[in-house]
Structure 1
Amino acid sequence: MIPKEPVVISQKELSIDELVSIARFDTPLIISNESKDIIQRSRDVVESFLFEEKTVYGITTGVGDNSTTKVKAEKSKHLQNNLLYSHASGVGNPLEKELVKAVMVMMIKNLSSGYSGIRLETVEALVNLINLDIVPKVPREGSPGYLIYQSHIALVLIGEGEAYFQGELLDGETALRKGGLTPLSLHEKEGLSLINGTVDMTAIGAIGVYDAINILKTSDVVSAISFEALKGTRYAFDKKVGNVKPHQGVKSTLSNLNTLISGSEIAEKYKDFRTQDALSIRAVPQVHGACKDTLNFVKQLVETEMNSSTDNPLIFPADNESISSANCHGESIAMSLDFLTIALSEIANISERRIFRLLSTEHSELPPFLVENSGINSGYMIPQYVAATLVSDNKRYAQPAVVDSIPTAAGQEDHISMGTSSALKLLNVIINTQRVLGIELMCGCQGLDFLKPLKTSSSLDYIYETVRAHVPKLSDDRILYNDIEKMERMIKNEMIVNHTESKVGTLSV
């Protein structure tokens, strides 16, 4: 295999695509020489504070409500390890490998900005974990927005905790040794810097945004197939509609839909079949478009946070100054991820309504539940139950986490973002929405079978054939959970979008 070009962590902006390429597709990373110099300059300032015995939060004092307690120089290094020990308190099942790697990437980016005062050796130790595929075991639950995930990761750097190496779960020291590494000895401020910042919610949020882009492109393709199967009236997709409601998302969805159905015999024959369609068909540009506008707003916020400095305290080498601030507060990310969760819930919601119409012969004029001999066959009746259940679950996940702040640290941290909860809810909705869209696509293709010999467009026919290569037409009842899983994988791994774009070019979001 040809080695992948490493992603360079530098003073330039890191993109969501670059983060995903490392976390999901195992692209290696390196730190630029410029960033190495900046990290060192920031560390020099911390060393000067120690020499001067200056009172600086987290360096010569305790943390949180212990910030009024002075810590002597000889105890400061001990404090760093204690911070990891005490804060590594997560519970529940472990995070997926790609999420842990994403958090580590964001830790490296945050620490490389030059405002943390951490040693270069420590940042490079994180780089080594990623490039050697040493993945710390990080419990999924219990993080209000920061501290806990990073603590479990940082434990492995000092030879503690647990990590996976080549798929085997080992204690931290053994995992390092098998990778040819040795445990770090943390210096002043390093434990605090390793566990601070908005990196966990931001990393997971970036993964969520990446998957949301795929979902929104997929939703246009899937809805176009349902439009065809339901003999939709294409006038509602006239571009003039977008000119008088010029939201960018509406216009991009109209463009996608018109491209996708271009050349369809079905769309041409049934263009005057109804005066107007139900809203789940007619309002695809307006609903999908609103979700795209939300996605683009959230994407901009997430990428801004990815390239922010969110440590506390912040070190400003040019001014030889340390400032204790609240850049570690994740309100921007928490609020935006709650917003994106709402948007993706709506994609699943309207998708399920189209499934319902496809299965209801009084709406679709197709055989009941999309199967012949419906008296002895249930067809796709029950997958609609599944979609309805997933949509109902999404409605609960769509309740915002950010408004539910509970004071911590004896009141020192009396307002927190709950941003990690926002991010984890988003992931749940992404999975559910992929499944709902998969069920819709399966049903839409079945609907097209009953309209033959009329043909859909060449691009949608290509997707139909792609689906049929994995899931055959349902003629008699069979076990369906395998089919649903196949459809989910085809959406999750971007097959539907990639195949479509190979025919029509890049879809708009």
Structure 2
Amino acid sequence: MEKKPIVQLTAQSMTLADLRRIHAGDVQLALADELIPALRRAHQTVSDIVAGGQVVYGINTGFGKLASTRIDKNHLADLQRNLVLSHSVGIGDILPAPVVRLILATKAMSLARGFSGVRPELVAALIKLFNAGVIPCIPAKGSVGASGDLAPLAHLACVLIGEGQALLPDGQRVSGAQAMGAVGLSPFVLGPKEGLALLNGTQVSTALALAGLFGAEHVFAAALLAGALSLEAIQGSVKPLDPRIHAARGQPGQIAVARALSTLLAGSQIVTSHANCGRVQDPYSIRCVPQVMGACLDNLAYTAGVLAREANAASDNPLVFADTGEVISGGNFHAEPVAFAADIIALAVSEIGAISERRTALLLDSGLSGLPPFLVRDGGLNSGFMIAQVTAAALASENKSLAHPASVDSLPTSANQEDHVSMATFAARRLGDMVSNTAAVVGVEAMAAAQGIELKRTPQGPRSSAAVEGVLAEIRQHVAFLEQDRYLADDVETMREWAMNPDRVNAFTDIIPSLNSANQA
């Protein structure tokens, strides 16, 4: 088996490109030796507090509203174990393996910063689980995104103490104790603060938001490709891509999208074949692609920066400052930055699908597109893409409801001690459904646009650019030209998978936020 490259957890931050590779399962993790002294110093600080009989929240007190309750030294191990077990109340389907890989990696990174007071061995155990492909079973629902992602992270911590469940690389579901044994470890007896450090933090919200960001980037790239196909299918104008227009406004995403589309269409014979057709203005879904998709790109770039910082953050509470021997309570567990970022990604994903669906509707409208009604010969006998567009409309509409900001909601918890929460976990989790919806919408457009191009095509007629012809050829490897009505559900699903394929970003690596060095942490 080929050895995977290693991402080192160091004093420097993991980059978005690293996080993308972690999500894909393409790497292994390693803890840099340089971080171990800081980990040991913070752990020693906690040990000194216990030995000295000081009363410090999270070390020898109860939690939340019970923070004023002092815990006897003889019960500190029970305190941490009880914390993990009592908080393991998640519900719903378990999180997918790519998301859990991100959770393991970002939790290890957060603890490795040396502000949490845990043993280096605990960080090493998280890394060992990751490298062995062991996936703790973490229910998707049960976090409000403040005081940390308590319930889901408790399910992760359960595996470390030999409780809960995990999936082995072969898919077998085993107990936490068996999972630890599979990587050559015995379950931990957690020391002071270690259970709290594992549970506190924004790693679940952040991992879900990162997965949403990467998915948004895939459908963003697919939508640019589909938009170029649609422009060629209706013989639209490329004049709105003129760089002077976009320089006059100055929005960076808009400039980047116009440049990317111009590059994609460079050398198109279809463009030159109708240069003097007299068509002045296309509908907005064609003409304003740089403006709409550019705004989406700017928002994805902003959120990429937020999430890159959060993935590397110490979001535990309280934090241990070994240089002064202080343990200070704060609120870094509050996931408001992640909630806002997830809401912004949701808006972008919704808009990517919304403008794509409008281009599909345009293609099907013979009065606007100049193509046969519903993109099929012998219309009437055949309905063509009529209902595929209805499916796209249904999904685009569903996304509009899902795009409602989650961050504006809050329900108090813990007897009003935790009286304002972020709802970041749901904000990020719903991105998976939204990305899937938009991928189907974009897939339908790409399939319809390919049909439109070929309906006008003659053996010796003009061809598009090499890049666009390559996209068209790839689509035809997956779905056939629609000569007459057939069962289309499989084709729609195939094109949804096409739009979600990570390879879509390869045509736009210079502008995709997680691949652009300007957005790296």
TM-score under structure 1 length normalisation: 0.97
Instruction: Indicate yes or no: 2:229 matched with 1:221.
Output: no
- Paired AA for residue 71 in structure 2: V
Please say if residues 16 and 210 of structure 1, whose CA atoms lie closer than 8 Å, have aligned partners that are also in contact: no
1:454 corresponds to 2:454: no
Shift of 1:71: 0.9
**1:191-206 alignment, distance < 5 Å:** 191-206=195-210
Partner of 2:479: 471
TM-aligned CA distance change 1:329 to 1:508, over 3 Å: closer
Q: 2:339 maps to what in 1?
A: 334
**Aligned partner (choices 164, 169, 174) of residue 167 of structure 2:** 164
CA distance in 1, matches of 2:17, 2:504: 19
Shift of 1:17: 2.1
- The answer to whether the 8 Å contact 1:235/1:271 transfers is no
Aligned partner letter, 1:251: I
The equivalent residue for 2:120 is: 120
Q: Does 1:481 align with 2:489?
A: yes
Q: Does 1:492 align with 2:500?
A: yes
Which residue is 1:258 aligned to? 262
What amino acid sits opposite 1:151 in the alignment? A
311-320 or 373-382, larger mean C-alpha shift: 373-382
Q: Which residue of 2 aligns with 1:387?
A: 392
Deviations 1:283-322 (A, max 9, x none): 1000000001101111111111112211000001111111
Instruction: Confirm or deny that 1:151 pairs with 2:154.
Output: yes
Could you say which residue in structure 2 is the equivalent of 1:267?
271
Q: Is the 8 A contact 1:197 1:310 kept in 2?
A: yes
Give the distance between the partners of 1:334 and 1:89, measured in 2 at CA: 22
In structure 2, the gaps of 5 or more residues are: 514-521
2:441 and 2:99 map into 1 onto residues whose CA distance is 23
* Native 8 Å contact 2:25 2:101 kept in 1: no
Aligned pair 1:409/2:414, yes or no? yes
Sequence identity (%): 37
One-letter amino acid of the structure 2 residue matched with residue 362 of structure 1: G
**CA separation in 2, counterparts of 1:179 and 1:114?**
24
Q: TM-score, normalised by structure 2?
A: 0.95
The aligned counterpart of 1:232 is 236
Moved more, 295-304 or 211-220: 211-220
In structure 2, C-alpha distance between the alignment counterparts of 1:99 and 1:307, rounded to whole Å:
16
User: Structure 1 stretch 457-466 or stretch 425-434: which is displaced more?
Assistant: 425-434
Distance in 2 (alpha carbons) for counterparts of 1:507 and 1:374: 41
Give the structure 2 partner of residue 173 of structure 1: 177
SS of the equivalent of 1:366 reads: coil
Give the aligned partner of residue 109 of structure 1.
Answer: 109
Range moving further from structure 2, 326-335 or 210-219: 210-219
* Cα deviation code 1:138-186 (max 9, x no counterpart): 1111211111111001101111001111201112112222333221111
Aligned partner of 1:428 in structure 2 is 433
Taking the aligned partners of 1:202 and 1:508, their CA distance within structure 2 comes to 19
Instruction: Flag structure 1 segments of 5+ consecutive residues without an equivalent.
Output: none
Q: Tell which deviates more after alignment, 130-139 or 205-214.
A: 205-214
Q: Map 1:292-307; keep pairs closer than 5 Å.
A: 292-307=297-312
Confirm or deny: 8 A CA contact 2:221 2:504 kept in the other structure: no
Provide the secondary structure at the position in 1 that maps to 2:481. coil
Give how far 1:272 is off: 4.2
- 3-state SS of 2:140 partner: strand
Partners of 1:71 and 1:174 lie apart in 2 by: 31
Q: Does 1:290 align with 2:295?
A: yes
2:211: which partner in 1?
207
Q: 1:316 to 1:272 in 2, by over 3 A?
A: farther
User: What is the aligned counterpart of 2:450 among 445, 448, 452?
Assistant: 445
Q: Contact (CA 8 Å) 1:252, 1:508: kept in 2 or not?
A: no
Amino acid at match of 1:458: A
Mapped partners of 1:260, 1:20: distance in 2? 25
After TM superposition, give the deviation of residue 410 of structure 1 in Å.
0.4
- Contact residue 217 and residue 512 of structure 2 kept, 8 A: no
Cα shift at 1:506? 4.4
State the 1:218 CA deviation: 2.2
Q: Which residue of 1 aligns with 2:61?
A: 61
Residue deviations 1:404-449 (CA, integer Å, cap 9, x gap):
0000000110001110011012222111111111111111111110
SS in 2 for 1:409: coil
CA distance in 2, matches of 1:208, 1:488: 16
SS in 2 for 1:469: helix
Distance 1:74 1:419 in 2: 37
User: CA separation in 1, counterparts of 2:209 and 2:454?
Assistant: 39
1:83–1:192 Cα contact (<8 Å) kept: yes
RMSD: 1.4
Count matched residues: 505
Aligned-pair distance for 1:368? 1.2
Please state whether the residue corresponding to 2:323 is helix, strand or coil: helix
Which residue identity does 2:208 align to in structure 1?
I
